[in-house]
Amino acid sequence: MIRYRSTRGNDETKRGTEAIIQGLAKDRGLFVPEAIPQLPFMPEKKSGTPYAYTAFHIVRSFLPDFSEEELERCIAGAYDSKFDAPEIAPLARTKKAWFLELYHGRTAAFKDMAMSLLPYLLTTAMNKEKEGKKVVILTATSGDTGKAALEGFSDVPGTEIVVFYPKDGVSQVQERQMVTQIGGNTHVFAIEGNFDDAQRGVKRIFGDGAFGRELASCGYRLSSANSINVGRLIPQIAYYVYAYVKLLEYGGLKAGEPMNVVVPTGNFGNILAAYYAKRMGLPIKKLICASNENRVLADFMQTGVYDANRDFHVTSSPSMDILVSSNLERLLYHLSGDSADRTAAMMEGLDADGRFSVDAEIREALGDFYGGSADMHETEAAIARLYNDEKYLIDTHTAVAYKVYEDYRDASGDDAPALITATASAFKFADSVARSIGLSVEGDGFANIRALHEASGAAIPDALRNLEGKEIRHTGVVSIDGMADAVRASLKGMK
């Protein structure tokens, strides 16, 4: 049975249920599986199977301590009519690549793919472990994780959820999605800072033993819905396997033929899921890591040096406006031969100096990856090019990936079939997309949603329709140092 241990050296192992409930290891490391399972089926033999089938078997491979009946209930609750596409994650074909559309859930972004399942996994795990305390989901967001987590955990018994987002670091639509969230257990705060500040603040709260004891005395314990929680990460593996099955079905691949996978990357969780799929045996040739102007990951892939000591750029792809990519720690652990000591040393360097470099062994292992970046001008040009040529609309994050893929293909000559993760609806970033395709851009993001719909004929996602008129319920703004007090104020018995 697979167990989980910390990337930073805590010798204690956890069952999958325990790792999901705890979220972050006590030594501030991330939980990783002690072994990567092999694919539970041959993709070429699963033509026509629904998304839920793939999700069940992939998640079951990593979380065998859930019974089949328990996991079937979780999967059935997660992947249902809340998605506006019957395939859950449909594929769209263009001249140069296939796009895996991961934005058909309740919040019109890829985080729904895992966040629809995490509340079911967590509440099932709590029941199995006889967890008596109420779980407080503490989450930092660069825009999409927060809304997906709020939607997933709204009024889920035994939980409270507190979300922090950068006040001036998300789009108007992203902010409105969060501040209008209903649910008696939902709490949303803007912070005076960027996403990295929010993420550091959340990790600091997790690492504060005194605060943890204070929570426990009031009947609470912390967990996370960020991809630092392995229960968020594992479900993401499923859609890469599903996409490969569908590509075989559609004739985009032959059995055993490798594909390239292109991912717009901020916190590194989405592309790490693709890496896990590759480790499971899915034929993936190159993992193409696409960054915006905050190209810390692209530089790392090219040089082996991770240096967060640089200017922070606010861009049109805000979910990628990140300089400290948490899930990279998991990759470093695996590439160092599952060495917690080496991983901890690199993370200590990052904490102390804002940088670290990898040794020759890890540098060689990074050969599976390619890193590139696109600035905002290149991003807008990519949106316009694809729309004008093929009338296919993509959002700003997906456009970063598309441009980086074009650069990779031109430089390498590698024409293997490419799968690009389309991580958000174009309507979530209607201002930038409208401007990119030559529309007159209004100051109001909701006016731009309407204009984009009228010009393109594309349907506005259910998640965004009527959002403009919803009541604003969350207005709190806090400093970074005030985040713990905001958590206290949100929870009964701690005010």
* DSSP code string of 304-358: SEEE--S-----S-GGG--SS-TTHHHHHHHHTTS-HHHHHHHHHHHHHHSEEE-
CA dihedral 210, 213, 219, 224 (to 10 degrees): 70
Q: Is the pLDDT reported for residue 435 higher than 80?
A: yes
Kindly indicate the confidence band of residue 494, based on its pLDDT and cuts at 50, 70 and 90. confident
Q: Which of 156, 80, 92, 60 is nearest to 391 (CA)?
A: 92
pLDDT of residue 424: 96
Strand, coil or helix: what is 14?
A: strand
Strand, coil or helix: what is 54?
A: helix
Residues 296-324 have a mean pLDDT of 95
Indicate the average pLDDT of the chain: 95
**Between residues 170 and 241, the one the model is more confident about:** 241
Q: What is the pLDDT of residues 371-416, one digit of tens each?
A: 999 999 999 999 999 999 999 999 999 999 999 999 999 999 999 9
- Distances from the Cα of 19 to the Cαs of 3, 5, 70, 132, in angstroms? 9, 8, 17, 16
Beta carbons of 51 and 91 less than 8 angstroms apart: no
Q: Which of 268, 308, 303 is nearest to 289 (CA)?
A: 268
* Total residues found in the chain within this entry: 495
User: What does the DSSP 8-state code read for residue 38?
Assistant: P
Q: Which of 320, 342, 345 is nearest to 145 (CA)?
A: 320
pLDDT of residue 226: 81
pLDDT of residue 323: 94
Say how far apart CA 225 and CA 150 lie, in whole Å.
9
**155 pairs with which residues across the strands?**
none
Beta strands in 412-481 (DSSP E): 418-422, 476-478
Residue 352: Cβ-neighbour burial (10 angstroms; 0-12, 13-18, 19+): exposed
Hey, CA dihedral for 481, 482, 486, 489, is it positive or negative? positive
Q: What angle, 0 to 180 degrees and rounded to 10, lies between the N-to-C axes of helices 51-62 and 68-78?
A: 140
Q: What is the pLDDT of residues 183-225, one digit of tens each?
A: 999 999 999 999 889 989 998 999 899 999 999 999 999 998 8
Q: What is the pLDDT of residues 165-184, one digit of tens each?
A: 999 888 888 899 999 999 99
Beta carbons of 21 and 131 less than 8 angstroms apart: yes
* 210: Cα separation from own chain's centroid: 30
Q: Is the pLDDT reported for residue 492 higher than 90?
A: no
**138 pairs with which residues across the strands?**
162
Say how far apart CA 153 and CA 137 lie, in whole Å.
9
Q: What is the pLDDT of residues 328-377, one digit of tens each?
A: 999 999 999 999 999 999 999 999 999 999 999 999 999 999 999 999 99
Query: Which pTM was predicted?
Result: 0.93
Say how far apart CA 444 and CA 117 lie, in whole Å.
33
Strand, coil or helix: what is 90?
A: coil
Query: 10 Å Cβ neighbour count for 450?
Result: 16
Ordered structural domains, the chain, with CATH: 91-108+231-463 (3.40.50.1100)
Q: Is the pLDDT reported for residue 10 higher than 80?
A: no
**Between residues 186 and 462, the one the model is more confident about:** 186
**163 pairs with which residues across the strands?**
139, 188
Residues 6+ apart with CB under 8 A from 132: 219
Q: Is the pLDDT reported for residue 465 higher than 90?
A: no
Q: What angle, 0 to 180 degrees and rounded to 10, lies between the N-to-C axes of helices 269-280 and 328-335?
A: 30
The amino acid occupying position 257 is: E
Which range, of 27-36, 325-334, 458-467, averages the lowest pLDDT? 458-467
Hey, CA dihedral for 55, 181, 492, 483, is it positive or negative? positive
Q: Is the pLDDT reported for residue 493 higher than 80?
A: no
The proportion of the chain whose per-residue pLDDT surpasses 70, expressed as a percent, equals 100
Kindly indicate the confidence band of residue 495, based on its pLDDT and cuts at 50, 70 and 90. low
* 109: Cα separation from own chain's centroid: 9
Q: Which of 63, 65, 46 is nearest to 54 (CA)?
A: 46
**197 pairs with which residues across the strands?**
none
Query: 10 Å Cβ neighbour count for 159?
Result: 22
pLDDT of residue 143: 77
The amino acid occupying position 334 is: H
